[in-house]
Amino acid sequence: MGKKTKVAIAIAAASAAAWAGTKALSKPEARPGKPALQSTRPIILAHRGGCQLEPEHTMLAFNRSAELGVDGFEIDIRLTKDEEILVFHDETVDRTTNGSGAVAALTLEDLQALNHGHHFQNLDGEYTYRDEQVAPVTLRELLTTFPDKLVNIDIKDSPDTYEGSLMPSKLWRLLEELEATERVVVTSFYSEQIDRFNLYAQNRVALGAGEAEVRNAFTTFTGQFGHLYHPKADVFQIPPKHNRFALDSPKFIQFLTNLNIPVHYWDVNDLVTMKRLTRLGATGIITGRPDLAKFLFDEA
């Protein structure tokens, strides 16, 4: 046996011993179920209100998706200058007003005074411009207009900004005031925002997984150290694929399911993929085409 072979065997033995040791010491606990996530069939959320049927984050979209029977909406939120929580994706309002500035630099009254035409991705996947007056939607308005809908709320303001530093507390107070804590999911790409929000919520609101949480779960799972993963999220909202990584493998879905973490896949806009993901174990679909997702209801 050569020297290199002996070294390789020694490294493999050490790795196996380390794996066995961590396996014995680490016992991940399943997340307690949250009322907002309980369902007997796949949950269908309209992405940004149903952004391939009507302009995103508008009452046109929310009303149309509600009429189609969705379970709820996936939305983004930003804070205005006068500290109103606006349902809006982009940092600036360029998309709708040809460069009127950042959401954080405008009051709600400023936004209401603008001509909100919309760049709109139609059913052919092409972006067109609809020059029509569409009022901005606040989170308060959305929650009170649709009291029976699940709302997945994505905090877009960075924790390093002034508005981002205020958002977790502002959001918590609004949810508490409207008694909406059990029908929302709060998430963000910024894991820090989720942690800050939970300082107020104290696990009374379902939490989504930030980018760091998803990376931690996927890395430990693929590295055979899944037993070291201790979840902080109640639900994963992820794309089927990210770069070269497939996040829709049945084993990864089962790994999360064993921890009582449902998996919702976002930006899924064709029925074939919707059916495939739900067969694999996905418990939620976030789609800009709720008209197609309706066919899943009939088969559930």
Residue 235 belongs to a domain: yes
pLDDT of residue 99: 53
**Pairing between strand 245-246 and 241-242?**
antiparallel
Going residue by residue through the chain, which has 300 residues, state the pLDDT in tens, using 9 for 90 and above.
Answer: 555 554 444 444 444 444 444 444 456 678 888 999 999 899 999 999 998 888 889 999 999 999 999 999 999 999 999 999 999 988 877 544 455 678 999 999 988 887 554 555 556 666 555 556 678 899 999 999 999 999 999 999 999 999 999 999 999 999 999 999 999 999 999 999 999 999 999 999 999 999 999 999 999 998 876 678 999 999 999 999 988 889 999 999 999 999 999 999 999 999 999 999 999 999 999 999 999 988 876 654
Q: Would you say 194 and 210 are in contact if contact means Cβ atoms under 8 Å apart?
A: yes
Residue 281 belongs to a domain: yes
Residue 211 belongs to a domain: yes
Residue 26 belongs to a domain: no
Q: Which of 265-292 are b and which e, b meaning 16 or more Cβ less than 10 Å from the residue's Cβ?
A: bbebbebebbeebbebbbbbbbbbbbbb
Question: At residue 177, what is the residue type?
Answer: E
Question: At residue 195, what is the residue type?
Answer: D
Residue 162 belongs to a domain: yes
CB neighbours of residue 228 within 10 Å:
17
Q: Give the C-alpha distances (Å, rounded to integers) separating 298 from 68, 69, 150, 275.
A: 12, 11, 20, 12
Task: Tell the residue number behind the tokens 């020297």, with chain if given.
Answer: 3
pLDDT of residue 299: 53
pLDDT of residue 11: 45
Which residue pairs from 50-55 have beta carbons closer than 8 angstroms and sit at least 24 positions apart in sequence? 50/288, 50/289, 50/290, 51/121, 51/288, 52/121, 52/122, 52/123, 52/269, 52/288, 52/289, 53/123, 53/288, 53/289, 53/290, 53/291, 54/120, 55/118, 55/120, 55/130, 55/134
Residue 193 belongs to a domain: yes
Q: How many domains does the chain have?
A: 1
pLDDT of residue 245: 83
Tokens read off for 100: 């009127």
pLDDT of residue 29: 78
Domain containing 140 equals 35-91+136-299
pLDDT of residue 133: 64
Residue 202 belongs to a domain: yes
Strand partners, 187: 154
Task: For residue 257, give the CATH number of its domain.
Answer: 3.20.20.190
Q: Determine the 3-state secondary structure of 138 from DSSP.
A: strand
Q: Give the C-alpha distances (Å, rounded to integers) separating 132 from 115, 118, 129.
A: 7, 8, 9
Alpha carbons 286 and 290: distance in angstroms, whole number: 9
pLDDT of residue 224: 74
Residue 221 belongs to a domain: yes
pLDDT of residue 75: 97
